[in-house]
Every structure is written in C-alpha cells, then in structure tokens.
Structure 1
Amino acid sequence: MINTKKRSVSILTAILFLFLCSLAQADNTLYQYSTIDSLLIGNYDGELTAVELQKHGDTGLGTFNSLDGEMIFIDGKIFKAKADGKAVEVEQSQRSPFAEAVFFKTDSIIKIDSSKSLENLNEQITKALGSENIFYTIRIDGTFESVRTRSVPAQQKPYRPLVEAVKEQHIFKFSKIEGSLIGIKSPAYVKGIGVSGYHWHFITKDRTAGGHVLDCSFRNLAAKVGNYNNFSLQLPETTSFLDADLTKDKEKELKKVEKNPSKD
C-alpha cells in the first residue's frame, strides 16, 4: 500500500512538472499559422478560428479569410480593422489564413522621448534590443501625435497575389489619438516564413478603429518588450496550401506590400 501511494505521488509530481514546463515554454513561444509567402501568392482562406488562436496567446497580428481586414489581437480579444477603418471584435468562428500570437510579457521597457516616424521608431527599438536572432513582441500605449494605417477590402475568387490586392488599400490618418501599437520583430532568417523585421498594427483606445501601420509619430511613450526564443509554426491543411508553389523568392513583393505609399 505504501509503495502504491509513493508511486501515485511520483506520477502526480511528474505530471505537475510537465505541466509547469509546458506553461513556461508557452510563455516564451511565438505561434504562427501559415507562412507569409503563402499569403503573398493569394492563399487567403485558412482553417484557423479565432477561438483556436486564443489558445496560443493573448496578443498578436494577422488577417482574416478573403483578406477581409487587419487583425489586432490585444488583451485576449481579437479585433478586425475593416476596409472602412472601423474596428470590431470578431466572433470566435471567424477564420484566418495567417496569424501570429504570443502570451504577452514584459521583459524590458524602452523609454522613447520622441519618434518622428515608424522607421525612426524601428531604429530606436533595434538599438535598445539585444540579439537580432530571437523574436520580440512590442506594445506601446498612449497618445500618438499621428498614426497612418491601412486596410484592404475583402477579395473575391480567383484571388490575386497580395501585391495586387493592396493596390486597393484604404488609408486612414489619425491625429492626437489614444491607442496601442502592437508590433512583432522577427529575425532575418524567417524570410519566406514570416515577416522579417518589424510588423505593426494599431487600434484606438476605445477599440473602434485601427489597421496595419504605415507610419506614426509620438513623444514620451514607453515600449514594453517581450522576448521569445521558441517558434511554433502550424501549416494549413487546405488544398490551396498543399498544392501551392512556394519555391520562389517573394521578398521584393513583401517589401512592396509593407511599404508606406507616401514614400514612393
């Protein structure tokens, strides 16, 4: 009887240890569904639901099926910035063809006295970070002097490549606006899989507007930064993904998709 009790305690201890280890790993993992190259060639329909994404984090970025709006995942809630710039919380059944998520944590805080542009913001954060070879999630809350965002209208089949779809993007300008920037910085070696470098989305404090960030400026705000050294990639099982030709280098197309049109 004593041995049986000891074995039971040992088993429970082992289970608890494995559970705690899994939690620790989750805290350091950036989860991603699909690849950026798949999205670039026009694979706009995925299987990932909002409720499934919420199992992998409480903060992140992405888009929705048919390329219908920009995803802002913040404080455990998933919002869609639609083609008219307005943001709405999505239903749990809403699906995504590409998304990234983390359980946000603050490993460091970067005080930023002034940022005159998105490019300038990226430079300041890069100087304050350590390794270029891990993932970072960044959150900046406060009042912004200006924010320039975009969203793309839902696409119709047959889907065009993303570089063509964004030609229909709608651009929105905000001034003296309270809100949050959510950014993910990925290493250069994820080229073709994720967005190497910075990727930012914005949502207003009242959660009614936002989008993919093209530019921004502000004074006296702080960037909360989380470090992530685990990367979990879930590949779609859709026919369009499994049959896709993903052998071509799409980096030039990605740069065109991400760039600020005002700087052409």
Structure 2
Amino acid sequence: MKITSKLYSVLLFIALAIICMPGFSAAEGTIYQYSIIDSLLAGNYNGELTIGNLKKYGNTGLGTFNRLDGEMVFIDGEVYKISSKGKAVKIEDTERTPFATAAFFKTDKIIKVDSAKSLAELNNKISSAIGSENIFYVIRIDGKFSQMRTRSIPAQTKPYVPLVKAVKKQSIFRFKDIEGSLVGIKTPSYFKGVGVPGFHWHFITKDRTAGGHVLDCVFTDMAAKVGSYNDFFLQLPETKNFLETEFKQDKQNELKAVEKDSKKK
C-alpha cells in the first residue's frame, strides 16, 4: 500500500503524541528533545525549558541557549556554553534553552577509528559500523585531535532573523593538537523538520575552556563509544511564538546551509 506524504505526517504526529503523554519519563534508551529544529530555523530563539529540567532527561547532549547565545555541550552531567568568543563556561541550572537534545549516555558498541581526515570521513566510518540507520545514536570520542574547526553564533537581538541569516555572523575557531571530547547525535533521516537528520557534533576541550559546533576535524587512532536509542520523547514549547509559527515549508535546504561552514578553510 502506498503511503502518501500527508498520511506519513499524520502517523508521525500520532507517534510523537503517544510518547509525549503525561507520565512519560525519559530513561536509558530514550532520546529527549525540547522543541523542533524547524522552530529554531524560523527564529524562535526563546524557550521555557531550564537547564535544571534538561538534566532530568540525561547527562549528555547538544543544543543552544535563549537568544541563540552560544553552543551547548552537555557532557558528564554538566552543561557548558561556548560563546561567540570561543570560550566555554559552565552554565547555571536557571538558564533556559529554545532547543536541546539529551540522553543518559550508554556504551553499546565501541568503534575503532584508525584515522579521520575530515568530519565527512568520520561520519562515513561510523555509519558503516553502527548498523541500522533507523534509530538514534549518541556518540562520544575522547582524545587528541590534530585539527579541529568549530563555530559559535553570537546572541541575537529582537526582531530575530531566521537561523540561516544569523549563522552568517558565526565565529570560526581553529585548534591544533588539542585534547578534548566530541559529542555527537545521529538522527534518522525520516525526522526531517523535527530533528537534525544525520550527524550533529559539538566539541569541548579536555580542560573545558573552549569548543563549539564542529565543522571539521582530523585525528588518528581513536575509539568512538556509541549508544543506541529506540525511544524518542519530544517536548513542545508553549511559547506564543512557537504556537503561532506556521510549519508548512520544507526547511531542509536552510538546515544544510546552517550546518555547513560559511567561511573558507
């Protein structure tokens, strides 16, 4: 039986509604997400979720902060902000986020990576080793990176512009022979509009002083710890801007523009 795109959208909505019913609690094997990526792309940069509440749903993850003020690295139970200056600071539980993903990290598989000459090569090697592309994965890689290139976006002021325009003001940071951790989330391709399909990586240095959204990296002889997740818990914002936004257009081209490096290497 042929399933139309409209029917598919209805089925996805029903599935998300079921797992978001009152009483649902995130546990091992569950990916928690606050808001949807299309909301962030539309310029909805203020959310109600506090960092303290985010920590109830995991100890590892990615996201940003209200006003789009920096990149979030959630690691070892602590949340760090990498500002547009490239500096990392630990964030108080009272700060809020408009978009974040979290999980309780677990290691189901260890993938040996002999070398990665680019982020694209790393993604390909992990994809070939994890198995199914239809569930979620959280990945962590610790070690010394010969090259790392990251970015962060400065805090926005109202009226907010769409993310594809805000990212043009991003700051680029380059590191050489730096020790640190990559935190990545791999989302199934069918979650377009809800999550970031494919890989999404953030980096933080070992001393927790710098990092950012990963644009590229180079390293040799490391191990990727991979956790697989079959459950997904989506919490939708109740802000006026989110409730009034029309999510009718496909924003995948905008997302691709946001994810790539807008500056020359």
TM-score (norm 1): 0.90
Q: Following TM superposition, by how much is the alpha carbon of 1:23 offset from its aligned partner in structure 2, in angstroms? A: 11
Which residue pairs with 2:101 in the alignment?
A: 100
Q: Following TM superposition, by how much is the alpha carbon of 1:260 offset from its aligned partner in structure 2, in angstroms? A: 2.3
Unaligned runs of 5+ in 2: 1-22
What is the alpha-carbon root mean square deviation over aligned residues?
1.5
Which residue pairs with 2:112 in the alignment?
A: 111
Which residue pairs with 1:253 in the alignment?
A: 254
Q: Following TM superposition, by how much is the alpha carbon of 1:65 offset from its aligned partner in structure 2, in angstroms? A: 0.2
Q: Following TM superposition, by how much is the alpha carbon of 1:247 offset from its aligned partner in structure 2, in angstroms? A: 1.1
User: How many pairs does the alignment contain?
Assistant: 243
Does 2:101 match 1:88?
no
Give the distance between the partners of 1:109 and 1:115, measured in 2 at CA. 16
Does the Cα contact within 8 Å between 2:72 and 2:81 map onto a contact in 1? yes
What is the correspondence of 1:105-254 to structure 2 with a 5 Å cutoff?
Answer: 105-254=106-255
Give the distance between the partners of 1:217 and 1:72, measured in 2 at CA. 20
Deviations 1:204-263 (A, max 9, x none): 000000100000000000000000000000000000000001111000000000012356
**For the pair shown, which has the larger CA radius of gyration, 1 or 2?**
1
Give the distance between the partners of 1:263 and 1:115, measured in 2 at CA. 20
Q: Do the aligned partners of residues 23 and 171 (structure 1) sit closer, same or farther apart at CA in structure 2, a change above 3 Å counting?
A: same
Question: Secondary structure of 1:174's partner?
Answer: strand
Give the distance between the partners of 2:146 and 2:238, measured in 1 at CA. 43
Give the distance between the partners of 1:53 and 1:81, measured in 2 at CA. 18
Q: Do the aligned partners of residues 128 and 24 (structure 1) sit closer, same or farther apart at CA in structure 2, a change above 3 Å counting?
A: farther
Question: Secondary structure of 1:131's partner?
Answer: coil
Which residue pairs with 2:61 in the alignment?
A: 60
Q: Following TM superposition, by how much is the alpha carbon of 1:66 offset from its aligned partner in structure 2, in angstroms? A: 0.1
Q: Following TM superposition, by how much is the alpha carbon of 1:82 offset from its aligned partner in structure 2, in angstroms? A: 0.2
Q: Which amino acid aligns with 1:150?
A: R
Which residue pairs with 2:16 in the alignment?
A: none
Give the distance between the partners of 1:31 and 1:115, measured in 2 at CA. 29
Deviations 1:1-48 (A, max 9, x none): xxxxxxxxxxxxxxxxxxxxx999610000000000000010000001
Deviations 1:139-180 (A, max 9, x none): 000000011000000000000000000000000000000000
Question: Secondary structure of 1:55's partner?
Answer: helix
Q: Which amino acid aligns with 1:50?
A: I
Q: Do the aligned partners of residues 24 and 245 (structure 1) sit closer, same or farther apart at CA in structure 2, a change above 3 Å counting?
A: closer
Which residue pairs with 2:30 in the alignment?
A: 29
Does the Cα contact within 8 Å between 2:168 and 2:262 map onto a contact in 1? no
Q: Which moved more, 1:253-262 or 1:53-62?
A: 253-262
Give the distance between the partners of 1:92 and 1:120, measured in 2 at CA. 36
Give the distance between the partners of 1:90 and 1:80, measured in 2 at CA. 6
Deviations 1:108-142 (A, max 9, x none): 00000000000000000000011110000000000
Identical aligned pairs, as a percentage? Answer: 65
Question: Secondary structure of 1:261's partner?
Answer: coil
Give the distance between the partners of 1:142 and 1:217, measured in 2 at CA. 11
Q: Do the aligned partners of residues 262 and 167 (structure 1) sit closer, same or farther apart at CA in structure 2, a change above 3 Å counting?
A: closer
Unaligned runs of 5+ in 1: 1-21
Deviations 1:57-111 (A, max 9, x none): 0000000000000000000000000000000000110100000000000000000
